[in-house]
Structure 1
Amino acid sequence: MSLKLTSTGRLPPEQMFTLQVGSKLFQVSGYSLNSDSPNLFTHFFSANESSTLFIDRSPQVFKLIVHHLQGYTVEIQDGAQFTTCFLDAIYFQLPRLQDLLKHSEYYFVCVGGTHFKLPKTLVSQVGNSLNYFEMACKSLFDDVQAIYHTMNLVRPPPQSPPYVNRSPNYFANLVTLLQGGILELTPERRQSLIQECRYYRFLRLEQQLVACQLRWNPVLQTQEIVMAMNDIRPKFVSLSQSPSPVEPVPKKPRLSSDSCWTSVQYRRPFVDADAPFARELIFQVMNSEATLYFIKNSKTIHVALSGPSLNMFRSIFNKLLSQNGIDLNNYLKQGSLLVLPACLSLCSLQVNSVPCRNVGALVEDFQLVDQVLDFNNPNHINQLVPGLKLNLMKSLWKLGMRDEKLLMIAIKAEAISGLKEYNKTLEYV
């Protein structure tokens, strides 16, 4: 007896249909088979008198398919189950199930052998999206469907579930942070998690992990941000709209500045996107890559940057300085030093582990008897003049600009005066 379709071309909803999937027999109503049609089932039963459809597929996966056809939510446990279910949704020509899986609320991934069910809402913020999993899943869907349809295959090609050869412990930490949890992180683990964020393209979370201090300066009445120089992104540095004083009431003009300088500001990408203003930037120079030079005759101070710190400084600030008429090439000396005018008027300074009361006292204590390069004389750069050289072990700075000139404003620094003091900083292994 031939099967009679309804007037709408659908199977009779009250009739039960038999399907043999692998070694298991299923009885499914026409109502269920019609729920995601047209599909392989409706095509077969509308064209064949046979009451049984034989299918050489997994009965375990087909149980999920039946749950979907009966109107239940398909509960996926892991990436392997998700992938096989999607492949069978293609094979059985179930358009609604394919769409539901594509737009699932979760990413099902295996990271380093551990399965994760990652809610998409956790990584949907600007900066965390478009991420690794969005791109990987889109590629999975598009590639499998394209191959199956264009090559006219008998069944979908085999497909491995998404696998990421990364640390599952680090990924679990990232999930905890995305969920709003707080972790006690060592500097090494923080840096490792930042690397993981970059791999997965969780760029917003990366910025949340970057070590920084957000402070309100009650004296200057301004917001400040303290960051390591290697964590600063050049695109997000800017210039303050109003100048700020380097020293409100200078007591001595010597080795200080009483001018107002416009400070460089910073707005962290993604994290500070909605903030009404940028913060004044205080940046930390890498250890032992900055040197202070006090020149006696001109009563001036310079800071010389070298190595990676020189390259970082140029990459971060060069575009902003150029836009304000400042060419950093004019501050290059001897090819390997970037020598910038500096102000230490308000710097909390330690020299040889001893707090320095003020710059004037430092000059008097050391008497400026060393011979240092005369950076004030461009015609005789190799000429030595009386002065003082201090190697900075740690230092925090602001960068100021005024009238196409720039000034390094020291905030806090620890310095040593020679090799003997440096040797004191060494630890036994």
Structure 2
Amino acid sequence: MSLSLSLKPKGPLPPEQMFSLQVGTKLFQISGYSLNSDSPNLFTQYFSENDASSTLFIDRSPQVFNLIVDHLRGYTVNIQDETQFTFCFLDAVYFRLPRLQDLLKNSDYYYVCVGGRHFKLPKTLVSQTGNFPNYFEMTCSSLFDDVQAIYQTMNLARPPPQSPPYVNRSPEFFADLIGILRGGVLDLTPERRKSLIQECRYYRFLRLEQQLVPCQVKWNPILQVEEIVINLSDIKAKFVSLPQPEVSSPSADEPTAKKRRLAANCDWESVKYRRPFVDADITFARELIFQIANLEATLFFIKNSKTIHVAISGQTLSKFKMVFQRLLKEHNIEISTYMKRGSILVLPACLSLCSLQVNSVPCRNVSAMVEELQLTDQVLDFNNPSIIPQLVPGLKLDLTKSLWKLGVSEKKIMMIAVKADAVSGLKEYHKTLEYI
């Protein structure tokens, strides 16, 4: 008999009768009741068309068939690893066992080998929005669909060979991810946290990635708002926002709400941020404080006009544009108008509320510092609209690390410094270097 023939509906086998199946080198005796439990299948097809006392010879693995016998007898199929899982599914397709195929497709676990280590990952751990669908769900779905489609459409004598799922990644990192998913708290170095975030992206655990992204969520008792501090590089552009302007005027008997002042002499609306997935349940977006943690931001103090600008360049500029360009364009603000010399973004800055350190010394009054210093530096005059750059007396400070809010008001933007560490020159920068 060819086992690749399509099944034809037959009546059930006699429940009390025992039937003989020789699978590989092992003989199995199975009742008609068990064979009928997942039918129609190739066993019921064969014994309906042949002498019930005959023996059906099958050239397949007896070890895998032990699992199938457990299933036919009503037991839970106890699968140990990805190899057993893959082979059991292949034989479920081969023997045309529809219920077993569905049970394996809807298993409570993902069976996978990561870097040579076997894992039995509960699907409930990664079922939340953002963590699902993930790498393993897509891999398993592909396995099921490919095997069934090829076997059925090509009418093969047996299912095509299929390798068990294997992921060439770090098993230690994957074990850490499982520990965090189970509620564990790990003491992570910045380097290991960065590695785990990369692993989350590979496995498409996007919610877990956001849980690992370093940030602080704090209540600001002065401004009476909740703020989030996060690296500029970790911000997702889709989730930055600004409150919609109010269109209705207040009634005569209702006092007008006083706007919070984020910078001197002007009211600025701060950009907000809501982290994807992990902040899905909160009803508001938090005020965004973003960190620039490199030397790609520079402060320029122009003495005569008493103005301050921050110049952003390099990768920080690319990320800044990626994060804020869409939002600002929606409010009729073009970042291109603030570009200078083709590759530098120069924005007006406010330091009146900033906790500033210059050369590791706290600076309590920025204006007084600029006035008192005998400024001999010549800096670019960003207030001059001339295409030809002009040099004027001023002060240049390179920021080693800084925290900012982005304020928007009447089609203008302002970089509002919250905290910053700066050096005033190469010698002072050298002092920040550590011996290795």
Check the 8 A contact 2:10/2:44 in 1, yes or no: no
Distance 1:195 1:96 in 2: 38
Q: Which of the residues 100, 104, 111 maps onto 2:107?
A: 104
Q: Which of the residues 285, 299, 324 maps onto 1:292?
A: 299
What secondary structure sits across from 2:271 in the alignment?
Answer: strand
Check the 8 A contact 1:370/1:386 in 2, yes or no: yes
**2:342 matched to 1:338?**
no
Paired residue type of 1:245: R
Distance 1:244 1:283 in 2: 19
Give 1:285 deviation, angstroms.
1.2
Greater CA deviation, 382-391 or 74-83? 382-391
Instruction: Spell out, residue by residue over 1:38-95, the C-alpha distance to the aligned partner (whole angstroms, 9 max, x if none).
Output: 0111011111114211111111111111110011110100000001111111111101
Give 1:367 deviation, angstroms.
3.4
Distance 1:360 1:21 in 2: 89
Q: Which of the residues 229, 235, 238 maps onto 2:238?
A: 235
1:19-418 residue pairs with structure 2 within 5 A? 19-49=21-51, 50-240=53-243, 243-247=259-263, 257-379=264-386, 381-418=388-425
Distance 2:387 2:304 in 1: 15
- Corresponding position of 1:4: none
Paired residue type of 1:25: L
Greater CA deviation, 404-413 or 144-153? 144-153
Paired residue type of 1:10: P
Distance 1:279 1:292 in 2: 27
What secondary structure sits across from 1:245 in the alignment?
Answer: coil
- Corresponding position of 1:252: none
Percent sequence identity over matched residues? 73
Check the 8 A contact 1:241/1:262 in 2, yes or no: no
Instruction: Spell out, residue by residue over 1:320-355, the C-alpha distance to the aligned partner (whole angstroms, 9 max, x if none).
Output: 111111111111111121110000001000001100
Paired residue type of 1:305: I
Query: Where does the alignment leave 5 or more consecutive residues of structure 2 unmatched?
Result: 1-8, 246-258
Distance 1:380 1:38, change over 3 A: closer
Distance 1:102 1:282 in 2: 45
Q: Hey, which bits of structure 1, 4+ residues long, moved more than 4 A? A: none
Check the 8 A contact 1:374/1:380 in 2, yes or no: no
Give 1:381 deviation, angstroms.
5.0
What secondary structure sits across from 1:224 in the alignment?
Answer: strand
Q: CA RMSD in A?
A: 1.4
Give 1:385 deviation, angstroms.
1.1
Distance 2:10 2:337 in 1: 81
Check the 8 A contact 2:302/2:308 in 1, yes or no: yes
Give 1:241 deviation, angstroms.
5.0
Check the 8 A contact 1:366/1:388 in 2, yes or no: no
Distance 2:59 2:174 in 1: 38
What secondary structure sits across from 1:342 in the alignment?
Answer: strand
Check the 8 A contact 1:286/1:309 in 2, yes or no: no
Query: Where does the alignment leave 5 or more consecutive residues of structure 1 unmatched?
Result: 1-6, 248-256
How many residue pairs align between the two structures?
414
Instruction: Spell out, residue by residue over 1:357-380, the C-alpha distance to the aligned partner (whole angstroms, 9 max, x if none).
Output: 111232134233321111111125
Greater CA deviation, 109-118 or 354-363? 354-363
Distance 1:91 1:312 in 2: 53
